[in-house]
Every structure is written in structure tokens, then in C-alpha cells.
């Protein structure tokens, strides 16, 4: 016969049952709590999280994958709502992305190996970069992504700055090299030009050789302009704007570039009669023509084509101002360069004037050509525009303000050169240059004391300061530069007229020479007219 449990025993059993019930409830609630923690983490993660269900074909190969879930960060990035896209494939969610084909190798690798995989994705619609990480769980895989757009932009800025630094260093090196070449080349040109002119003086007008010599003289002057262009490209030459016959400059530029453009490209020149003049720098106008024509030639190098350069006068008035709202009313010169080449695609045409932007292969362009053209046009108070279609060629239009006062043509007939009988001390370390200019000056009636050593020239002047009427000296010489010689001379005789000549000097300019008391600054090569007029001007105190 069983005894009834005591009150204490009943109380103990109740406590045991309550404890068991509590433990059972904890065990039963654990998955739900885990689920809640997962959902809380899933919803509040700053990174995108996507859960995908794999879809297989009859052979067990992955066919595609459908979205099972996505957290708010992903939905915000996609600008989608979950009910609209859940159960859909990536190609259905992003119909223009071709994502299934693009990511299939990655998904297959994740499923096959069961290990996480990392990669970067770029989404052109949003200009966004994501760093992606995916891992497979059986027939599901989870992908996460976090935005690295700003990091990528910072890297791009860094790359651009490093590239610009390299380009700057390269240009500095090119500038240094160009300066050295300019000095030597201008000396050589001076010798060729001077001896050609001396030979022309000894050949009668009826002699056929005189015409050949005149062509040599003209070629020397064109070569001088080429050197100026090289120095301008390397930023070693100061632009000098003045009234300019642009038609002459354009025609000359086209003659120069004909040799560098393949014969498969037909160059056509259309220059209107009575062209207006502009206020500009001839070297920079050359630079515009060369850059635009070179680009046009590159676009036609495979198939050939037509390069057409047109120059005409236009008027901007009330009827045409809507086409050019940023320009004032008045007369303009329109320079147009067109080609039948590959053209410019719409997605890059707005960037073609950006510095360092180029679509050319490595080694074929620096991305500076059109940026330089744009800068020159702006410095000339003009406007440049472009029209192009891929495969249909390009048209560049430039408008320069026309000047009211016409530019005087250079005299074609030989001028009678001024002469004199003064005593000139001529100093240059190049013996050929000294001999050449001694002949030139003596033919004009002057008495010349030639010196190839600036120290000897200074000592001669020191002992004979009143026996010299004018000193002509080169700038770059060993042991003593021309400006140093000029300073020593002026310390002895402060009123001494001095002409400083230079093939090229980075540390000397016309303004600096005048500040030192030097009367005239001449750049080589020096033609006989320039030499004769300069000598007479300085001696006459003009």
C-alpha cells in the first residue's frame, strides 16, 4: 500500500517539472532565437548580401540561379523591392547585364570546390565597383559585396597623378634635350644660311644657281621655325602674338606635314581669297595644324582617305549668334580640318580635349595633342568645336577673331642694306660663325675684329676701350658666357653698345638682356638683313 507523498515531495516534483518544461522551451526556442539573430544580422549589415538557389539541368549541370533572399543594403543598391525579384534569375533582374554567362565560371568553381571565392565587379550603369565574396552551401550560395568605388577612384587619381608626374618629367627631359639641340642646330643653320647669302651675293641674277641658293635660304628659315615649334612643344618658347597672315601659315604648315603623312591620304587645301588676318603666334598656329592633321592621318592610316583643310572668312551677327552664343558679333576666320577616318565614338567625344586622355595604343599618343590645341585656341580668344560619327570621319572647326588692320606683306624685292665704317668686335666660339659674319660685316663697310675666345675679347677691349664702336657676342661660350662678357665690358665702359646673339639659352631672354644694359637680343640663325638692320639701329641709338 502506497503512502501519499508529503507536501514537500509534491513541491519538489513541481519544481522538477517546471525546470524540465523550461529546459524543453529553451531547446525548442533555440532555433527561433538563432533565426532571429541571423535575420537581425542579415537586415542590418552594411554590405550587400544575396542568397541564391542553384537551378540544374537534366544532366546535373548548373543552368542558372534564382534569388532566394537579399538584405536591405542589396535592395537599396539595386533599387529593387524583394517581392518583385525573389525567385528570378540574375538575367531577369538585370536584363541588360548578361550576368549568368558572365559569372557562370565563378559559380561553377564555388559549387565544385565549396570554398569562398573573391572578385571585383564593375557596374557601368551606376559607375560602381563592388568587391564580391561568395560561398556555396549545397544547392544554395551566398554572395556578399561591399562598395569599393571610392577606393577605386582614389587609385585612379593616384595613377593619373603618377602618370602626370612621369609625363612632366619626360617633358622636362625633352625640353632640356630640345634646348641643347636648338642651340647647336641654330648655329649650324646660321652657318648654312650665312654662306648661302654670301654665295648669292656673288652670283648674278641670271645664273640658274641663284634660284637654287634662294631655295636653300628659304629652307633654312623654315628649319628655324621648326626649331621654334620643338621648343614650344617642350614649353621652352614664349608665345608672341601679333598681327598674322593665317593663310600663309596654314599653307606653309601643310607643305611641312605632307612629307610625314602617307601618300594614301589625299590632302586637299581650300583657302578663300582675301583671307582676313588674326592676332596670333605663327608657331602655335603651326602647332594646331600639325596636331589636328596628325590625328586625322592616324584615323585614316589603315584605309587611307581625304584630309581637307579649309580657311574662310565668316561673320557672326544676329542670324548666326545662336550657333556661337559665347562669341561676340564681328568678323572671324574659320579654320576647318576634316577627315574621312574612323571618327570618334559618342561615349568619348566629350573628353577628347581633356589632358592625357587618349584612345590611341600605347606609344602612339600621350593624350596632350588636343588639350594643347584647345589651350592655344583659348589663348587666341577663339573657339573650337568638333562633330564626328563613328566610321564617318571628324570635323574640327576653329574660329579666330579677325583683326581690322591688315598685315603688311614681307617685301619680295631685295632691299638695299644700310652700311657703315664703324669698328665692330665680333665674339663667337664657332670659328665658322666668326668667319661668316666677318665677311658679311666687311661687305657692308665695317671694320671687324674677330675673336673666338671671350677672355681674349675682354682683354682686347680692356686695353682698347675707345677703339671699338660695337660688340656683337654669342651667348653660350666656354669659360665665359655672353652676358658675363657684356657685364665686364659695361663695367669698363657703361655706354658700350652690345648685341647679344643666341642659338638658344634657357637662362637668358630679351627682357633680361635689356635689363643688363644690352642694346639688342637676336636669335640665331641670323639673316643678313636682320644683321645689317640691327647693327645700324644699335649704332644709331634707335
* DSSP of 125-160: TTTEEEEEEEEEETTEEEEEEEE-HHHHHHHHHHHH
Answer yes or no: do 448 and 339 share one domain.
Answer: no
Q: Look at residues 107, 124, 147 and tell me which one is the last residue of a structural domain.
A: 147
Per-residue confidence (pLDDT) for residue 5, from 0 to 100: 67
Mean pLDDT of the chain, nearest integer: 81
Answer yes or no: do 434 and 363 share one domain.
Answer: no
pLDDT at 84 over 50: yes
Q: Which of 197-206, 340-349, 507-516, 533-542 has the highest mean pLDDT?
A: 533-542
Q: Look at residues 114, 147, 180 and tell me which one is the last residue of a structural domain.
A: 147
Backbone dihedral region for residue 167 (phi beyond 0: left; psi -120 to 50: alpha; all else: beta): alpha
Answer yes or no: do 427 and 369 share one domain.
Answer: no
Omega cis (within 30) before 198: no
Tell which wins on pLDDT, 536 or 413. Answer: 536
Q: Distance between CA atoms of 438 and 449, rounded to whole angstroms?
A: 8
Q: Distance between CA atoms of 474 and 525, rounded to whole angstroms?
A: 12
Instruction: Indicate which CATH number applies to the domain containing 461.
Output: 3.40.50.2300
Query: Given pLDDT bands bounded at 50, 70 and 90, which one contains residue 78?
Result: confident
Q: Where are the beta strands (DSSP E) in 285-361?
A: 305-316, 330-339
Per-residue confidence (pLDDT) for residue 175, from 0 to 100: 63
pLDDT in tens, 44-75: 777 888 888 988 888 888 888 899 888 898 88
Q: Is 36 contained in some domain? A: no
Answer yes or no: do 267 and 399 share one domain.
Answer: yes
For residue 109, the enclosing domain spans 48-147
Q: Is 178 contained in some domain? A: no
% of the chain with per-residue pLDDT over 70:
79
Average the pLDDT over each of 170-179, 267-276, 304-313 and give the range with the smallest value.
170-179
Q: Distance between CA atoms of 213 and 205, rounded to whole angstroms?
A: 11
0.75 exceeded by pTM: no
Q: Distance between CA atoms of 183 and 136, rounded to whole angstroms?
A: 71
Q: Distance between CA atoms of 412 and 415, rounded to whole angstroms?
A: 9
Residue 399: which residues within 8 A CB-CB, separation 6 or more?
314, 316, 324, 327, 332, 333, 334, 335, 382, 383, 384
DSSP states along 477-538 = -SSS-HHHHHHHHHHH-TT--EEEEES--TT--HHHHHHTT-SEEEESS--HHHHHHHHHHH
In the sheet that 140-147 helps form, which strands lie side by side, from edge to edge? 62-70, 48-56, 140-147, 128-137, 117-123
Q: Distance between CA atoms of 243 and 262, rounded to whole angstroms?
A: 33
pLDDT in tens, 452-477: 999 999 999 999 999 999 999 999 89
Query: Given pLDDT bands bounded at 50, 70 and 90, which one contains residue 140?
Result: confident
Q: Is 15 contained in some domain? A: no
Answer yes or no: do 384 and 450 share one domain.
Answer: no
Tell which wins on pLDDT, 298 or 228. Answer: 298
Instruction: Indicate which CATH number applies to the domain containing 303.
Output: 3.30.565.10
Name the packing angle between helices 282-299 and 208-233 (round to 10°): 80
Per-residue confidence (pLDDT) for residue 207, from 0 to 100: 86
DSSP states along 377-443 = HHHTT-EEEEEE-TTS-EEEEEEEEEESSPPPPPP-SPPPPP----EEEEE-S-HHHHHHHHHHHHH
Q: Taking residues 27-34, report their average pLDDT.
A: 60
Q: Is 450 contained in some domain? A: yes
Query: Given pLDDT bands bounded at 50, 70 and 90, which one contains residue 405?
Result: low
Per-residue confidence (pLDDT) for residue 471, from 0 to 100: 96
Three-state DSSP at 8 gives helix
User: How many Cα atoms within 13 Å fall on the side-chain side of residue 115?
Assistant: 1
Query: Given pLDDT bands bounded at 50, 70 and 90, which one contains residue 412?
Result: very low
pLDDT at 360 over 60: no
Q: Distance between CA atoms of 520 and 514, rounded to whole angstroms?
A: 7
Candidates 97, 102, 69; CA nearest to 83 is: 69
What DSSP state is assigned to residue 61?
Answer: -
Answer yes or no: do 450 and 478 share one domain.
Answer: yes
Per-residue confidence (pLDDT) for residue 365, from 0 to 100: 46
Angle at 509 between CA 247 and CA 402, to 5 degrees: 25
Three-state DSSP at 373 gives helix
Q: Is 203 contained in some domain? A: no
Segment holding 384, helix H or strand E: strand 383-388
Phi, psi dihedral angles at 159 (to 5 degrees): -60, -40
Per-residue confidence (pLDDT) for residue 170, from 0 to 100: 64
Per-residue confidence (pLDDT) for residue 239, from 0 to 100: 58
Three-state DSSP at 430 gives coil
Residue 526: which residues within 8 A CB-CB, separation 6 or more?
190, 193, 194, 501
Q: Distance between CA atoms of 235 and 249, rounded to whole angstroms?
A: 21
Q: Is 199 contained in some domain? A: no
pLDDT in tens, 227-264: 766 665 555 455 567 888 899 889 888 887 877 788 89
Answer yes or no: do 274 and 395 share one domain.
Answer: yes
Answer yes or no: do 390 and 464 share one domain.
Answer: no
Answer yes or no: do 472 and 398 share one domain.
Answer: no
pLDDT in tens, 499-522: 999 877 667 888 898 999 999 999
Q: Distance between CA atoms of 305 and 281, rounded to whole angstroms?
A: 30
Answer yes or no: do 57 and 130 share one domain.
Answer: yes
Answer yes or no: do 534 and 453 share one domain.
Answer: yes
Query: Given pLDDT bands bounded at 50, 70 and 90, which one contains residue 362?
Result: very low
Contact between residue 138 and residue 150 where contact means Cβ atoms under 8 Å apart:
no
Segment holding 188, helix H or strand E: helix 149-202
Q: How much helix, strand and coil, in percent to the nearest 5, is found in the chain?
A: 45, 20, 30
Q: Distance between CA atoms of 433 and 426, rounded to whole angstroms?
A: 10
Three-state DSSP at 339 gives strand
Domain count, the chain: 3
Q: Distance between CA atoms of 515 and 530, rounded to whole angstroms?
A: 22
pLDDT at 366 over 50: no
Give the length of the chain. 542
Instruction: Indicate which CATH number applies to the domain containing 93.
Output: 3.30.450.20
Q: Distance between CA atoms of 330 and 299, rounded to whole angstroms?
A: 34
Q: Is 42 contained in some domain? A: no
Q: Look at residues 147, 168, 200 and tell me which one is the last residue of a structural domain.
A: 147
Q: Which residues is 492 bridged to in the sheet?
A: none
Radius of gyration of the chain (CA): 40
Q: Is 12 contained in some domain? A: no
Answer yes or no: do 389 and 512 share one domain.
Answer: no
Amino acid at each position: 500500500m502506497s503512502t501519499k507523498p508529503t507536501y514537500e515531495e509534491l513541491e519538489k516534483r513541481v519544481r522538477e517539472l517546471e525546470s524540465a518544461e523550461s529546459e524543453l522551451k529553451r531547446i525548442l526556442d533555440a532555433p527561433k532565437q538563432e533565426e532571429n539573430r541571423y535575420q537581425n544580422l542579415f537586415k542590418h549589415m552594411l554590405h550587400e548580401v544575396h542568397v541564391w538557389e542553384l537551378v540544374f539541368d537534366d544532366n546535373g549541370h548548373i543552368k542558372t540561379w534564382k534569388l532566394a533572399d537579399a538584405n536591405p543594403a542589396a535592395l537599396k543598391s539595386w533599387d529593387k523591392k524583394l517581392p518583385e525579384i525573389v525567385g528570378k534569375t540574375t538575367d531577369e533582374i538585370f536584363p541588360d547585364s548578361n550576368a549568368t554567362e558572365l559569372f557562370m565560371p565563378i559559380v561553377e568553381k564555388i559549387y565544385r570546390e565549396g570554398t569562398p571565392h573573391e572578385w571585383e565587379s564593375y557596374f557601368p550603369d551606376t559607375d560602381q565597383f563592388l568587391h564580391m565574396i561568395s560561398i556555396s552551401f549545397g544547392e544554395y550560395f551566398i554572395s556578399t559585396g561591399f562598395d569599393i568605388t571610392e577606393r577605386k577612384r582614389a587609385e585612379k587619381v593616384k595613377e593619373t597623378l603618377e602618370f602626370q608626374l612621369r609625363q612632366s618629367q619626360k617633358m622636362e627631359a625633352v625640353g632640356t634635350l630640345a634646348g641643347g639641340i636648338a642651340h647647336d642646330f641654330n648655329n649650324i643653320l646660321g652657318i648654312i644660311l650665312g654662306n648661302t647669302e654670301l654665295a648669292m651675293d656673288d652670283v648674278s641674277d641670271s645664273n640658274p644657281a641663284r634660284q637654287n641658293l634662294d631655295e636653300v635660304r628659304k629652307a633654312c628659315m623654315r628649319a628655324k621655325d621648326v626649331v621654334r615649334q620643338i621648343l614650344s612643344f617642350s614649353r621652352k618658347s614664349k608665345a608672341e602674338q601679333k598681327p598674322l597672315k593665317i593663310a600663309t601659315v596654314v599653307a606653309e604648315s601643310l607643305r611641312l606635314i605632307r612629307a610625314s603623312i602617307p601618300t594614301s591620304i589625299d590632302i586637299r587645301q581650300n583657302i578663300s581669297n582675301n583671307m582676313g588676318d588674326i592676332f596670333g603666334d605663327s608657331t602655335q598656329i603651326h602647332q594646331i595644324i600639325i596636331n589636328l592633321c596628325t590625328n586625322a592621318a592616324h584615323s585614316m592610316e589603315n584605309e587611307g582617305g581625304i584630309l581637307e583643310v579649309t580657311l574662310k572668312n565668316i561673320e557672326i551677327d544676329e542670324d548666326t549668334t545662336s550657333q556661337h552664343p559665347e562669341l561676340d558679333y564681328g568678323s572671324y576666320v574659320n579654320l576647318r580640318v576634316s577627315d574621312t577616318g574612323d571618327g570618334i565614338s559618342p561615349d568619348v567625344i566629350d573628353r577628347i580635349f581633356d589632358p592625357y586622355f587618349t584612345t590611341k595604343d600605347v606609344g602612339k599618343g600621350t593624350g596632350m595633342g588636343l588639350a594643347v590645341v584647345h589651350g592655344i585656341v583659348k589663348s587666341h580668344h577663339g573657339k573650337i568645336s568638333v562633330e564626328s560619327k563613328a566610321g564617318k570621319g571628324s570635323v574640327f572647326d576653329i574660329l579666330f577673331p579677325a583683326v581690322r588692320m591688315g598685315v603688311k606683306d614681307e617685301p619680295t624685292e631685295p632691299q638695299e642694306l644700310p652700311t657703315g665704317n664703324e669698328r665692330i668686335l665680333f665674339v663667337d666660339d664657332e670659328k665658322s660663325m666668326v668667319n661668316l659674319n666677318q665677311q658679311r660685316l666687311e661687305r657692308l663697310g665695317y671694320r671687324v675684329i674677330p675673336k673666338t675666345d671671350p677672355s681674349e675679347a675682354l682683354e682686347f677691349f680692356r686695353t682698347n676701350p675707345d677703339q671699338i664702336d660695337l660688340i656683337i657676342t654669342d651667348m653660350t661660350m666656354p669659360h665665359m658666357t655672353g652676358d658675363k662678357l657684356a657685364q665686364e665690358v659695361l663695367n669698363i665702359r657703361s655706354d658700350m653698345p652690345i648685341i647679344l646673339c643666341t642659338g638658344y639659352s634657357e637662362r637668358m631672354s630679351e627682357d633680361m638682356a635689356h635689363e643688363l644694359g644690352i642694346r639688342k637680343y637676336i636669335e640665331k640663325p641670323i639673316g643678313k638683313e636682320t644683321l645689317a638692320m640691327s647693327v645700324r639701329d644699335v649704332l644709331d641709338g634707335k
